[in-house]
Structure 1
Amino acid sequence: MTKAWSSMQTDRKAYGIQGGFLPREIFKTEGESDLIRLSFLSMPMDKVETKWQLWKNYQYVLAFRFAIQEINKDPQLLPNLTLGFQLYNSVTSGQFTLRSTLHWLTGKHHLIPNYTCQTQGKTVAIIAGTTSVFSAEIGTMLELYKTPQITYGPFDPMLSERAKFPSIYQMATSDSSLACGMLSLLLHFGWIWVAIFVSNDLKGEQFLQDILAEMVKKGVCLAYALKLPDSKKRYENTKISFLADLHILSANVYILYGDVSSLYTMEFLSQYYLTLGKVWIMAAKWEIALLETEHMLHSFHGGFSFSHHKGEIPGLKHFVKTVDPSHYPEDFFLSQLWLHALHCLPRGSHCGTVGVCPPNASFEFFPGHIDMLTTSDSSYFIYSAVYAVAHALHKMLSEQIEKGSPGDAAQPRILPWQLAIHGSTWHVSRDLPLQALSPRVSRATGSPPPPPPPPPAGEDVSFHETRHRMKHYDIHNIVNFPAGFRLLIKIGEFSSENAHDQGLVLNEEMIEWPAAFKETPQSLCSQRCGPGFRKMTHEERPVCCYTCVICSERDISNHTDAEQCTPCADHEYPNLERNHCLPKLVTFLGFKEFLGMALACMALCFSVLTAAILWVFVRHRDTPIVKANNRTLSYVLLITLLLCFLCSLLFIGRPNTATCLLQQIAFGLVFTVAVSTVLAKTMTVILAFKALKPGRIMRQLLVIGASNFIIPICSFIQLALCGIWLGSSPPFIDTDVHSEPGHIILVCNKGSVTAFYCVLGYLGSLALVSFTVAFLARNLPDTFNEAKFLTFSMLVFCSVWVTFLPVYHSTKGKVIVAVEIFSILASSAGLLGCIFFPKCYIILIKPDKVSLKAFKNQISSRRT
């Protein structure tokens, strides 16, 4: 590195930063006494011989070196200054942390507190921290010297506590929206039954609370939750029983969240029990650790990884392709990497019998498990951290020049705690470009220098704690290959700035599922309820564990896992599967259907029979039996019964306004005339026998035909009731949509139900009076006396209509119309049969009994 640095120090003063440490120092820069260093803690290299996947961590060094090189070439960011650096290898062991920190602080192998031998430049910042535990351990020591530490590892809220770690700054962004992103992925594929594994620390606990809160809102249930210990050693002497439960869990989706040690724990546990056939969802901060896992190589295949969205670093890939050991001969790790990966070294970078690499050899041709061209999250954060320090230096030096004289620019005094102050307060808004920094006075000329340019990646660079506002994630699919290679293929994005159901964008065609699934897997506690069913949850079980219940006869559900069934509209009805509504057929009691045709035939037959009886009575009008039973009233009753039979036809056929008005009115009036005629006939019999006794009143009533006035009086009362009915709330055409599934029945609505029952009640009262009068007259002399027949006919009439009321209220649809028609026919037939059939039998079958001679013989026999 000495040669590389000397070429950049011709007309610049050299400054440096330091980027990490631990026992083994890879290489460091040498330069002038005022060199400002940035120390960088690179990847672990202690297990190089056994874990070749760790060579991918060398990408951190390349990103760090590329950023330093860009800054030193930039004439505006740090003009007349050179940024130096030191690189140290990291040992992932907490027991060496304190010792290594003291080694770096003192500059000697002899640990002398509060003493340093570093004379060739002051280190102003350290870029380190693959884990939060490591950053916290070295941060405690560095805080004594107020040396700022910028971590490029996963974001940890513990490190953001300014009271504990005032000089630690995190480049990684917060995971505050990670739970929302993972939940959106679950909902996208319909995964509502998941298991969660988190690290046993505050970060894992916070993530568990966040995602459980979102799961409750969205109806996703927790099948299993486990807090992983921070070390696999706890399980070495412990029986692992829960792994068997993992295998039999009905959940096919596992969420994994925690630090790298948690993943190592899962890797250790998988040695005893592989968890195949599961979809793993995790954060991309385990990206490097994933490459180290052996037993879970196939377990994670087809899983998903969330990483914060990052832009490309222009020029980095070209830089990586052109780097080789000949450019940096002092970097022995780079030589080892080439030697072990390509089994050769570039010309001029070695001695001995090692083969010479072809001229086009580069990182581009390295094995697949050592991918240096794909920028990782940590590499991106390292690159941004270097620029954050450079901009803080720019601001700090500009302020020093403003406060002092231009001559002070030659020997600027920079202390680490000063950089911490400027770095913690300097922040660039995402809406404000870096060029908006206020102009400073040039150290050489005293004129305002040009503002520093933004970093080539186009992102804000700051180690301020407010960077956690970033809420944009890239989603990668984890794909394993038989040779042990693993790739992270970007298949989508999630942005929490949009609604959760719209912020997820996926390319499902690119997704590679675990080998156990040939299509998109399901993760359910219960089988989905298909269309036509709804979910019924149980109090003692999670909401995702439910029973499917078929919708009721009037409801449907047209989607899967319906919470409630939806009723069909009044003009529709559910199909047999109850997954959609069908239009109902309009129907009514018509003449063409069997029930309507049967009732119509009955009405016509009874009408013809009544007309025949009327013809018989008219033909034998001079016979004693016809004369004795009031010939006129008999004619009126027969005509009325004929109309009763015919009025039943008004109830059959398609309803219209005319038929709806005539149905109940005609029924009420003709039956009132019929019942009042029966009452008049009964009163005539009573008056005829009472007139034989002394007294003038009965005889006068019989002479003037008082019984004949009963019919118009009773009919007028019923006519008044019907008039009130028509005037207040007349019957109208209506539809019955509930009586028969699949049909809309056209019916005649009664209008005023009160008026209907008033008409029916008046008719019933008149029938009861007629029955009572006839019953009292039943014991009169029976020669041509029809009182007994009238009593029986009214008994039949009243029985029919008393039975009609409960049947009428218990039926619906077209049947209710049929019941009313049947009651009309039955009651009319009862009157016709009980009153006129005996007379017709005598007139037609026994004509000798209706002669005058037979009548006189019967009277003589009664007197004797």
Structure 2
Amino acid sequence: MPVKKHQYILTMIFVTEKINRNPKLIPNMSITFSFSPSNCIHYGPFHPVLSDHYQYPYLYQIAPKETRLPFAIVSLMLHFNWTWVGLVISDDDQGIQFLSDFREKIQGNELCLAFVNVIPLNMDLYNTRAEKCYKQIVTSLENVVVIYGEINSTLEVSFRRWAYLGIHRIWVTTSQWDVITNTGRPFIFYSFHGAFTFSNHHHEIPNFKRIIQTMNISQYPIVISVMRLEWMYFNCLHIESKCRTQSNCSTNISLEWYATQQFNIAMNDENYNLYNAVYAWAYAHRELYYDQVDGQPLRQQPQENCPKFYHTLKNMQFINPIGDLVTINEKTKCDADYDISHISKFPQGLGIKVKIGQFSSYGSLGQQLYISEEAIEWATGSRKIPSSVCSETCRLGFRKFQQEGKAACCFECSPCPENEISNETDMDQCVKCPMNQYANIEKNHCLQKTVMVLDFEDILGMVLACLALCFFALTALVLGVFVKHQDTPIVKANNRTNSYILLISLKFCFLCPLLFIGHPNTAKCILQQITFAVLFTVAVSTVLAKTIIVVLAFRATALGKMMRGLLVSGASNFIIPLCTLIQLVLCGIWMGTSPPFVDTDEHSEHGHIIILCNKGSETAFYCVLGYLGSLVVGSFTVAFLARNLPDEFNEAKFLTFSMLVFCSVWVTFLPVYHSTKGKAMMIVEVFSILASSAGLLGCIFFPKCYIILLRPNKNILKRIKKKTFRPTN
């Protein structure tokens, strides 16, 4: 006889004896029962189809609604990080409905089904699919399998076959699977971390174990002693509270100690429903018995008034002897609360069932599931339950990368992009740091950026400022030498006025980099570009004027009266203001349309915000630079053509070389400037200003200073004439 039926019989014996011992419940009556294997009373979970009273007029469902069971299981999965689970159901209405509800609950919770095994009810059909179902569960990588369906079915056959073939999983199921046996041992225990079962929450029945153990077996025609031995396995439903009173309670206590403890034998859901069904019958009879007409009890026996009895039973609602509310009317029936238990197997074949938590269908969101960590540790020896995932958790600094064609739970982990972080595990997308922050090396936290400028206190800023001041002083020294020796032939021969203009403009050119150093503001940004453009235009146009004067001086006779007139009239002196005026017009257009402004650069240097001057219109900047370049090319061309003119103090060669240096600096500047960002752009521009200015100063004036200071014997008019008008043989 199946153990399940043993439980029914023991429960019926227990409840009928308890009712018969209470004369106030059904006065002048006692109840008996008979067991017929071919015509059982049916027990199982609540089924919506059976609520049709037109089709089933005399069927009453004792079990509470189980509409919250899928959500309760999903809550447990989320608690233990079981994102990748298998599902095995029976191919019937309840199984298909559970599958539909379960899929609905896992959506949006990042949970996935590794497989779904739908076990056919027909044995022949099952035999054709058994091998496929077995391979499916063996080859999948999940650690957890959810089971839903009736025992004593093909689903139970599958389990027994899987047990024989050695499949070990964490099973999650309902309490009716607690006592499935395999050669006398509980099958469900064959698992590397036991099983988790959900049972309807109810109070414990007092004295249940004692009554069964002390039952007078001689008055019953069935072998109760065998039933009693087969059903008795240890139960620790309140082990947590009991351990508080036991000084030697720990997770590794021997089984002999358990055997000495008086743990209650808990009823599963079906037996508890049977317990309530008998009491419902008794309370219905009691209500009819005490139904009064004119204050007198009815004399008619309840069983003789069947329609009224069934009507009474249909609307029955009562508090059973252990304090639970029992409702027969399906319209007022509530969703069940669930006790969550863990079942472990020991080598001797004994199993221990420990209540580890509870799920409340009517608790507040997020507070419906309660799991006792102490009870888990007591039951399993550890508070850590193995996870069941398709892919390992993406740690901080990584994001999930979905694999095409695979379930949402199967993914790869890729590092966050530059300046993005993930500060939680399993993030779908990394979060970009705010503009004033940057990602740390691990990419799990945003750090505040440091504000940077090319400051005088920086080593590089200090070096550039010192260079600028040194060249300024050197230029002033050269100007002083020229002023002191202004009446010497070499100073006069190279247009003394233009030399002074060029030296003064170079002095300010060397001071120009100081505008690029320090904390910028709008005025500073505008002055940077205007000062640079105008001063260099004056310097280059002065070189152009000096070159033209040299050409006109040596070719005045050959070029005729027009050229001599230009030389005498001083037309070359208008070159400087004219060229400068054109540059001023270009700068005015620039400032009027899109002037420079203070800007920030958050991307050029990691961890820093650079405050710098934005040039505004890039087009205007390159127009100004292009105009300056055209003057340089013109000066270089004219100087190159006049390089071989005879004269002791002819500076055409030096002007040519100075323009060559100037061109080289700024041609190199353009690609380097475009390839740098942030503070480096300012450094490149400052260095180009200093290098090109130093090139003009060194190439044009150092040879003259050499003659003035170190070779004064060459700086005499007589030597010039002698060399210039050397007689020919």
TM-score range, shorter chain: 0.7 to 0.9
Please, which runs of 5 or more residues in structure 2 have no aligned partner? 231-257
Which residue of 138, 153, 156 maps to 1:264?
156
Retained in 2: the 8 A contact 1:199–1:230?
yes
The CA RMSD measured in Å over matched residues stands at: 4.4
Counterpart CA distance in 2 for 1:808 and 1:751 is 16
Q: In structure 2, do the counterparts of structure 1 residues 848 and 174 end up closer, same or farther at CA, with 3 Å as the change threshold?
A: same
- How far residue 385 of structure 1 moved from its aligned partner, in angstroms, is 2.8
The aligned residue for residue 811 of structure 1 is 676
Counterpart CA distance in 1 for 2:592 and 2:129 is 93
Cα distance per residue 1:791-816 (max 9 Å; x no partner):
44334434433432332222112211
Q: Which amino acid aligns with 2:178?
A: E
Q: Secondary structure at the match of 1:548?
A: strand
Q: In structure 2, do the counterparts of structure 1 residues 730 and 72 end up closer, same or farther at CA, with 3 Å as the change threshold?
A: farther
- How far residue 635 of structure 1 moved from its aligned partner, in angstroms, is 1.3
Q: In structure 2, do the counterparts of structure 1 residues 242 and 178 end up closer, same or farther at CA, with 3 Å as the change threshold?
A: same
Q: In structure 2, do the counterparts of structure 1 residues 588 and 493 end up closer, same or farther at CA, with 3 Å as the change threshold?
A: same
The aligned residue for residue 603 of structure 1 is 468
Q: In structure 2, do the counterparts of structure 1 residues 159 and 487 end up closer, same or farther at CA, with 3 Å as the change threshold?
A: farther
Counterpart CA distance in 1 for 2:394 and 2:666 is 51
The aligned residue for residue 176 of structure 2 is 285
Q: Secondary structure at the match of 2:328?
A: coil
Retained in 2: the 8 A contact 1:252–1:523?
yes
The aligned residue for residue 449 of structure 1 is none
Which residue of 105, 113, 134 maps to 1:222?
113
Q: In structure 2, do the counterparts of structure 1 residues 724 and 66 end up closer, same or farther at CA, with 3 Å as the change threshold?
A: farther
Answering whether residue 686 of structure 2 is matched by residue 821 of structure 1, we say yes
Which residue of 2, 16, 19 maps to 1:65?
16
Which residue of 314, 317, 320 maps to 2:206?
317
Retained in 1: the 8 A contact 2:186–2:351?
no
Q: Which amino acid aligns with 2:33?
A: L
Cα distance per residue 1:535-575 (max 9 Å; x no partner):
21210322222222122231222222222222222333222
Q: Which amino acid aligns with 1:173?
A: P
Aligned residue pair count: 702
Counterpart CA distance in 1 for 2:325 and 2:644 is 118
Counterpart CA distance in 1 for 2:335 and 2:505 is 93
The aligned residue for residue 359 of structure 2 is 494
Cα distance per residue 1:334-374 (max 9 Å; x no partner):
97579979xxxxxxxxxxxxxxxxxxxxxxxx989997653
Answering whether residue 35 of structure 2 is matched by residue 86 of structure 1, we say no
Q: Which amino acid aligns with 1:170?
A: Q
The aligned residue for residue 77 of structure 2 is 186
Q: In structure 2, do the counterparts of structure 1 residues 851 and 89 end up closer, same or farther at CA, with 3 Å as the change threshold?
A: same
Answering whether residue 197 of structure 2 is matched by residue 305 of structure 1, we say yes
Q: In structure 2, do the counterparts of structure 1 residues 413 and 156 end up closer, same or farther at CA, with 3 Å as the change threshold?
A: closer
Q: In structure 2, do the counterparts of structure 1 residues 233 and 478 end up closer, same or farther at CA, with 3 Å as the change threshold?
A: farther
Counterpart CA distance in 2 for 1:71 and 1:455 is 13
The aligned residue for residue 706 of structure 1 is 571
- Residues 107-126 of structure 1: pairs in structure 2 closer than 5 A: none
Q: Which amino acid aligns with 1:172?
A: A
Retained in 2: the 8 A contact 1:794–1:831?
yes
The aligned residue for residue 484 of structure 1 is 349
Q: Which amino acid aligns with 2:58?
A: S
Cα distance per residue 1:364-392 (max 9 Å; x no partner):
xx989997653432343234334544666
Q: Secondary structure at the match of 2:35?
A: strand
Retained in 1: the 8 A contact 2:337–2:359?
yes
The aligned residue for residue 42 of structure 2 is 129
- How far residue 841 of structure 1 moved from its aligned partner, in angstroms, is 4.8
Counterpart CA distance in 1 for 2:227 and 2:72 is 40
Q: In structure 2, do the counterparts of structure 1 residues 585 and 384 end up closer, same or farther at CA, with 3 Å as the change threshold?
A: same
- How far residue 197 of structure 1 moved from its aligned partner, in angstroms, is 1.9
Q: In structure 2, do the counterparts of structure 1 residues 83 and 749 end up closer, same or farther at CA, with 3 Å as the change threshold?
A: farther
The aligned residue for residue 209 of structure 1 is 100
Retained in 2: the 8 A contact 1:629–1:784?
yes
Which residue of 572, 588, 607 maps to 2:437?
572
The aligned residue for residue 244 of structure 2 is none
Q: Which amino acid aligns with 2:110?
A: G
Counterpart CA distance in 2 for 1:164 and 1:325 is 43
- Residues 317-336 of structure 1: pairs in structure 2 closer than 5 A: 317-318=206-207, 321=210, 330-333=219-222, 336=225
Retained in 2: the 8 A contact 1:676–1:714?
yes
Retained in 2: the 8 A contact 1:264–1:293?
no
Q: In structure 2, do the counterparts of structure 1 residues 62 and 369 end up closer, same or farther at CA, with 3 Å as the change threshold?
A: farther
Counterpart CA distance in 1 for 2:18 and 2:459 is 94
Counterpart CA distance in 1 for 2:671 and 2:228 is 103
Cα distance per residue 1:707-761 (max 9 Å; x no partner):
3344344445545655666677654544322111122223233355555445434
Q: In structure 2, do the counterparts of structure 1 residues 212 and 324 end up closer, same or farther at CA, with 3 Å as the change threshold?
A: closer
Counterpart CA distance in 2 for 1:239 and 1:504 is 36
The aligned residue for residue 520 of structure 1 is 385
- How far residue 304 of structure 1 moved from its aligned partner, in angstroms, is 1.0
Retained in 2: the 8 A contact 1:588–1:746?
yes
Which residue of 391, 394, 397 maps to 1:532?
397
Q: In structure 2, do the counterparts of structure 1 residues 201 and 500 end up closer, same or farther at CA, with 3 Å as the change threshold?
A: farther
Q: In structure 2, do the counterparts of structure 1 residues 584 and 657 end up closer, same or farther at CA, with 3 Å as the change threshold?
A: same
Retained in 1: the 8 A contact 2:290–2:298?
no
- How far residue 420 of structure 1 moved from its aligned partner, in angstroms, is 4.4
The aligned residue for residue 255 of structure 2 is none
Q: Which amino acid aligns with 2:269?
A: D
The aligned residue for residue 627 of structure 1 is 492
Counterpart CA distance in 1 for 2:362 and 2:228 is 47
The aligned residue for residue 238 of structure 2 is none
Counterpart CA distance in 1 for 2:581 and 2:481 is 30
Retained in 1: the 8 A contact 2:639–2:652?
yes
Retained in 1: the 8 A contact 2:596–2:616?
yes
The aligned residue for residue 453 of structure 2 is 588
Cα distance per residue 1:92-142 (max 9 Å; x no partner):
xxxxx3xx48xxxxxxxxxxxxxxxxxxxxxxxxxx213xxxxxxxxxxxx
Counterpart CA distance in 2 for 1:700 and 1:806 is 44
Q: Which amino acid aligns with 2:115?
A: Y
Retained in 1: the 8 A contact 2:339–2:358?
yes
Retained in 1: the 8 A contact 2:67–2:335?
no
Q: Which amino acid aligns with 2:12?
A: V
Which residue of 240, 243, 254 maps to 2:145?
254
Retained in 2: the 8 A contact 1:60–1:378?
no
Retained in 1: the 8 A contact 2:176–2:268?
no
Q: Secondary structure at the match of 1:307?
A: strand
Please, which runs of 5 or more residues in structure 1 have no aligned partner? 1-45, 92-96, 102-127, 131-152, 342-365, 428-433, 435-452
- How far residue 211 of structure 1 moved from its aligned partner, in angstroms, is 2.1
The aligned residue for residue 665 of structure 1 is 530
Q: Which amino acid aligns with 1:154?
A: P
Counterpart CA distance in 2 for 1:62 and 1:407 is 30
Answering whether residue 276 of structure 2 is matched by residue 384 of structure 1, we say yes
- How far residue 510 of structure 1 moved from its aligned partner, in angstroms, is 0.8
Q: Secondary structure at the match of 1:570?
A: coil
**Percentage identity across aligned positions?**
46
